[in-house]
Amino acid sequence: MAVKNLIDGIREAMHEEMARDERVVLLGEDVGKRGGVFRASEGLVDAYGDKRVIDAPLGESGIVGVAIGMALNGLVPIAEIQFADFIHPAFNQIVSEAAKIRYRSDNDFHVPMVIRAPFGGGVHGGLYHSQSVEAFFMHVPGLKVVIPSTPADAKGLLKAAIRDEDPVLFFEHKRSYRLVRGEVPDGDVTVPIGKARMVREGKDLSIFAYGLMALYAEQAADTLAKEGISAEVIDLRTLLPLDREAILASVARTHRALIVHEANYTMGAGAEVAATIAEGALYELDAPIRRLAGPDIPAMPFNTPQEEHFMPNPEKIAQAARELLAL
Amino acid sequence: MAKTKVSPKATSSLGPNEVRKMYRNMLLARTIDERMWTLNRAGKAPFVIPCRGQEAAQVGWAAGLRPTDYFLPYYRDIGVMVTLGYTARQAFLSLLGKAEDVTSGGRQMPGHYGWRERHVITGSSPVTTQVLHAVGIAYASQLRGEDTVSAASLGEGSTSQGDFHEALNWASIYKLPVLFVVENNGYAISSPQSKEMAVQDTAERALGYGMAGVTVDGTDFFASYEATVQAAERARRGDGPTLLEFKMYRLLPHSSDDDDRTYRSREEVDAWKDRDPIQRMQNHVLEAGIMTAEEVDALRVEVQAEVDDAIAYAEAAPYPPVEDMFTHVYAD
Ligand SMILES: Cc1ncc(C[n+]2csc(CCOP(=O)(O)OP(=O)(O)O)c2C)c(N)n1
Ligand SMILES: [Mg+2]
């Protein structure tokens, strides 16, 4: 096993899947010679040619709509949206089309495809290069929503997403691309979609997070451990379908729940996790559920102090955990 | 409506004082751009989006309109903003996200313009959205019987978006007083024009919508200015919208995060340096006797000093207070 960056896991998954299955194609803005603006597809056009690694015209509705057509006719497209903030022109194609094609055709048609997009802030990206858009798509049955937080999961989950028979939205936290390093197993290892990951076991409270926040939660748990607080950390890693079993089982062990996401508070993924606990484990709780999330403002400001104030971080997570334990 | 090409030798209705001012605007835009890049490379500015190579077209199209018109510039348009009175101080306050930033109070990334007082409509990052807003603004002007024109700029790659086509369709159906300004610099990040469209000139796209389309040498200030004046006159007369295409070249990488060596050759870039719009304008003011060589040198020094002052001012300026991030989500 070699230690790699999260973005290496993404690249390797695409590389191996394109080598394994010639139906797999990649399309998106600047994915060819440039190798993607974050370099996720570096080298792919040299290996597989510009018929399979396609520099798309600048239009997200076009990218996703064309990918749907490809999927309907025997290809397995990976559509890259350059930033998750720019996925909205494709919202109609994703929500009206990709999500509903299997259902509306009574299973005659389906669209095996992946839509990859970097999301998240803390990179001085301002209002439109920092957003977390996962909640919009969690509300849409027919889609799957996956967010890896480690290099191994990035690779294993992306491979699983490419092989999945249904449309998968695959969001990659852009700050974690080169910040998060970890061991990536060699060879053809997939990670199942729909299963949460136990990051560390604990007994005083459960912290539920995903993406960069899963890493921050782990760091917060280290700090808390030094204070004698034992925090369990669960990386949700698939938001749709949500691993409700893992959530309920964890709360049954710790009796306290802290949910962390960078997306704004109201109607974020945390609302669904909280509702799951309220419905399935209310009598297990020793304290009210706590959500730590981005504030309810339209997007993350560019200037340094306000951006920092927007972002949850390990210290804020640790503080929220202390407060929850004091209740 | 035929597609026309404006000759690069178009003569100008501008007097010597105005030409001098336009040259100064171009030089200021270039100098701001250069110094922003330097600050980025020194680790003092997180993100820069350059205008280099596009100054003639930008100053030209902005100057070809009236202050009462509406402007919807895109992220490269430092030249447009400077022509509308944006100062070097304002540019660097925005670059560093300081409280005094006139475009957004430090909320937006640099290059996301907006300035109510000067009729510059606030813009976002998702490309091409502003083009539809320009159509709606023109519709409102027409409805009220005003003779104002609205103008939205965008890159040639951004014409691939559906919003662009919906905008042209609306504008031509209602013969709206709107200009679609395509700053064609040959690339959309790494994607050459040939991967964005199957036509040679973006302006050809006007034909399918029954509106005027004009292709202009965007390295020539005078051609850019005159083409805009003519298009604005048509719009004010009630003869409808124009798709104005300025052809030029993006001399720098897409942004401070890009590395253009991965997708274009140095020979290609160097070939375009011979048509640097600043150099062309300088040659003109010297050859036409509008300025002497000493005056040109003095102007350069003056503009550098203005930018030095602006950087010092912006670096010392405060950030917005954290509490301010919660204001103006709704009317209070
Ligand atoms: C909807 C949307 N998709 C993608 C992007 C990312 N992006 C920013 S600029 C750009 C290229 C634009 O090229 P062009 O329109 O030719 O303008 P130029 O930058 O060359 O001036 C891309 C893909 C974006 N800002 N908005
Ligand atoms: Mg361009």
Residue B328 maps to a domain:
no
Classify A4 as helix, strand or coil.
strand
Asked if residue A201 and residue A139 are part of one domain, the reply reads no
User: How far B264 CA lies from chain A's nearest CA (Å)?
Assistant: 10
Is the CB of B46 less than 8 angstroms away from the CB of A127? no
For B23-83, the DSSP string reads HHHHHHHHHHHHHHHHHHHTTS-S-----TT-HHHHHHHHHTS-TTSEEE--TT-HHHHHH
User: Going by DSSP bridges, is the β-strand pair B178-184/A53-55 parallel, antiparallel, or unpaired?
Assistant: unpaired
Q: What is the pLDDT of residues B86-99, one digit of tens each?
A: 999 999 999 999 99
Into how many domains does chain B fold?
Answer: 1
Residue A190 maps to a domain:
no
Asked if residue A55 and residue A171 are part of one domain, the reply reads yes
Choose one of A125, A153, A184: the last residue of a domain: A184
Residue B323 maps to a domain:
no
Range of the domain at B154: 3-312
User: How far B125 CA lies from chain A's nearest CA (Å)?
Assistant: 6
Axis-axis angle for helices B221-237, B55-63 (nearest 10): 30
Q: Which residues pair with A4 in a beta bridge?
A: A182
Q: B8 pLDDT exceeds 60? A: no
Residue B15 maps to a domain:
yes
Asked if residue A155 and residue A259 are part of one domain, the reply reads no
User: How far A272 CA lies from chain B's nearest CA (Å)?
Assistant: 25
Asked if residue A214 and residue A108 are part of one domain, the reply reads no
Interface pTM, i.e. ipTM = 0.96
Residue A191 maps to a domain:
no
- Note if A309 is an active site residue: no
Spatial separation of the C-alpha atoms in residues A19 and A13, rounded to whole Å: 10
Contacts of A29 in chain B (CB under 8 A): 188-189, 191
The H-assigned helical ranges of chain A are 6-20, 44-48, 60-72, 91-92, 101-104, 134-138, 151-163, 176-179, 212-226, 244-254, 269-280, 304-310, 314-326
Choose one of A122, A152, A184: the last residue of a domain: A184
Contacts of A89 in chain B (CB under 8 A): 126, 161-163
The phi and psi torsions of B289 (rounded to 5 degrees) equal: 70, 20
B327: tokens are 């204001």
Into how many domains does chain A fold?
Answer: 2
Choose one of A184, A207, A226: the last residue of a domain: A184
Residue A189 maps to a domain:
no
Q: What is the pLDDT of residues B280-292, one digit of tens each?
A: 999 999 999 999 9
Q: Is B127 in the pocket of ligand 1 (CB under 6 A)?
A: yes
Spatial separation of the C-alpha atoms in residues A113 and B177, rounded to whole Å: 43
Is the CB of B258 less than 8 angstroms away from the CB of A89? no
Q: Report the CATH number at residue A90.
A: 3.40.50.970
Q: Report the CATH number at residue A298.
A: 3.40.50.920
Residue B325 maps to a domain:
no
Do the beta carbons of residue B124 and residue B158 sit within 8 Å? no
Asked if residue A140 and residue A266 are part of one domain, the reply reads no
Asked if residue A142 and residue A111 are part of one domain, the reply reads yes
| Residue of B39, B40, B47 to mutate, interface with A, max A Cβ within 10 Å | B47
Q: Does A91 touch chain B (CB under 8 A)?
A: no
Asked if residue A152 and residue A207 are part of one domain, the reply reads no
Residue B329 maps to a domain:
no
Range of the domain at A228: 197-326
Spatial separation of the C-alpha atoms in residues A310 and A264, rounded to whole Å: 9
Q: Does A80 touch chain B (CB under 8 A)?
A: no
Asked if residue A118 and residue A216 are part of one domain, the reply reads no
Asked if residue A302 and residue A169 are part of one domain, the reply reads no
pTM assigned to the model: 0.97
Contacts of A306 in chain B (CB under 8 A): 106-107, 319-320, 322, 324-325
Spatial separation of the C-alpha atoms in residues B332 and B326, rounded to whole Å: 11
Residue A66 maps to a domain:
yes
Asked if residue A111 and residue A41 are part of one domain, the reply reads yes
Per-residue pLDDT of chain A (327 residues), as tens digits, is 899 999 999 999 999 999 999 999 999 999 999 999 999 999 999 999 999 999 999 999 999 999 999 999 999 999 999 999 999 999 999 999 999 999 999 999 999 999 999 999 999 999 999 999 999 999 999 999 999 999 999 999 999 999 999 999 999 999 999 999 999 999 899 999 999 999 999 999 999 999 999 999 999 999 999 999 999 999 999 999 999 999 999 999 999 999 999 999 999 999 999 999 999 999 999 999 999 999 999 999 999 999 999 999 999 999 999 999 999
The phi and psi torsions of B48 (rounded to 5 degrees) equal: -135, 140
HSE-CB at A228 with a 13 A cutoff on CA atoms is 1
Q: B169 pLDDT exceeds 90? A: yes
Asked if residue A130 and residue A222 are part of one domain, the reply reads no
Residue B320 maps to a domain:
no
